[in-house]
Chains A and B, each alone.
Chain A
Amino acid sequence: MTRAHKNSEIGLEIEPRVYEITQEKINSYSRRVFNGRDTKNIHTDDETARRAGLPMAVAQGRYPIGYISEMMLDFFGKGWIKGGKLDLSLVKSIFPGDTITIRGVIREKIREGDFIRFLIDIWIENQNGEKATVGTASGLFEA
């Protein structure tokens, strides 16, 4: 993992993270939502998803955001827990069978009192290079 510090250059790409999205992982997330129960919904059931106009079951939009947060936690450490920010647009569905890659590039460094806020362009792309989630993440390092 590339560890950033206050002298890291703008344009530095953080080491990407790759995750396989499976139906079982999506179901597991859904069980967490429904207190451990299995339910039929657009995330867990192809037929329900098709009735909603989707081609098949889709991953919950918020589920891969947890992966982004973990990547940022490893990048910023304490400055993610106290000072982390995410601002994301979910522009394309993620499906079971997709392989997603989370990528981030340092866009800007902004002084905030005793800290420097690193603003990072962040996105999730699928195995075809199509962006599914785009936006920014930022966190703090001591100046």
Chain B
Amino acid sequence: MKKKFSYETIEVGEELSRKDFVITDEMIQGCAHVIESKHPWYFEDSPFGGRIAPPTIFDNETLNSLDEKYSRFGSIHAKQAWEFKNPARLGKRVSITVRVMDKYVKRGKGWMIMELMAVDEDGLEICRGKHTSLMSLKEGVKE
């Protein structure tokens, strides 16, 4: 059963998910399509040897992980940071961990920070993302 999504119930340090993905052609094409990219490194070859995924390929995983654990009625994405460290290569298995880094109150509203970390099967860190959300939206409305 999902937990209620509120400032009080969110636990700092909590691991929201740990998942493995294999980078597929479908994932690369789907991501490239929505960002209107035809970059040859995604579709043909790259200087890294073989096709790679757009660096932002895991941009949905933070909120997806939150929604798997909490019954979220909505939130506002206020800040986003990324560090891209190595290419996400077609066919590689990537392990993604999402956790709650922090929460705080500012101007009477609850905020939370989540961190995503992606590591491939060779132990190479692919990227790190930091997602900051304002937690208050009207209850009953889904983002």
Contacts and interface: CB of A to CB of B under 8 A. Distances in A.
A90 B35 CA distance: 18
A114 B80 CA distance: 28
Interface stretch (B16-24, B49-57, B95-103): B49-57
Contact of A62 (B47, B48, B80, B142): B80
Contacts of A52: 74, 137-138, 141, 143
Contacts of A33: 60, 63-64
Contacts of A70: 35-37, 39, 54
A19 B36 contact: yes
* Chain B contact residues: helix, strand, loop or mixed: loop
Contacts of A69: 35, 54-56, 82
The interface size bin for chain A is 35 or more
Contacts of B13: none
A73 interface: yes
A66 B138 contact: no
A42 B141 contact: yes
A48 B48 CA distance: 44
A42 B59 CA distance: 18
A62 B31 CA distance: 12
Interface of A: 19, 25, 28-29, 32-33, 41-43, 48, 51-53, 60-63, 65-67, 69-70, 73-74, 77-78, 80-90
A-B interface, 10 closest residue pairs, ranked by CB to CB distance from nearest: A61-B77, A66-B35, A84-B84, A52-B141, A86-B82, A66-B56, A87-B81, A29-B34, A62-B59, A69-B56
Given A28-B34, A82-B87, 19 more contacts: A32-B31, A32-B60, A43-B143, A52-B137, A52-B143, A65-B80, A66-B54, A66-B59, A67-B35, A69-B35, A70-B37, A70-B54, A73-B55, A78-B48, A82-B84, A84-B55, A84-B82, A85-B83, A86-B81
Interface of B: 30-31, 33-37, 39, 41, 46-48, 52, 54-56, 59-60, 63-64, 74, 76-87, 137-138, 140-143
